[in-house]
Copies of this chain bind each other. A is one copy, B any other.
């Protein structure tokens, strides 16, 4: 599953947890976080700490794979529009 937003992440977490037949409380105990925090992740809370997320994924038997978006790109390449836009109001 490609993760480009918190929606993708939350959906994958919930689906995997249910596939494993775990409650939020059980998963929370395994990952050493609170049940409410798991609920937050599954509803797409974007401000959760990435370290805890990695722990959660490990408890679910999920591994993050980081791949380049554009396989053809070898030469250094910059999104100039994004860069200029971000720099405009500085």
Secondary structure call for the A interface? mixed
Inter-subunit contact A63/B3 (CB<8 Å): yes
Please pick, from B20, B50, B70, B90, the residue contacting A78 in the complex, using a CB distance under 8 A: B20
Please pick, from B16, B46, B64, B79, the residue contacting A3 in the complex, using a CB distance under 8 A: B64
Inter-subunit contact A66/B76 (CB<8 Å): no
A residues in contact (CB < 8 Å) with B: 1-6, 8-9, 12, 16, 19-22, 26, 29-30, 32, 46-51, 53-54, 57-59, 61-70, 73, 76-79, 82-83, 86-87, 90
List 6 A-B pairs, minimum CB-CB distance, nearest first: A46-B51, A3-B64, A21-B76, A65-B65, A29-B86, A61-B69
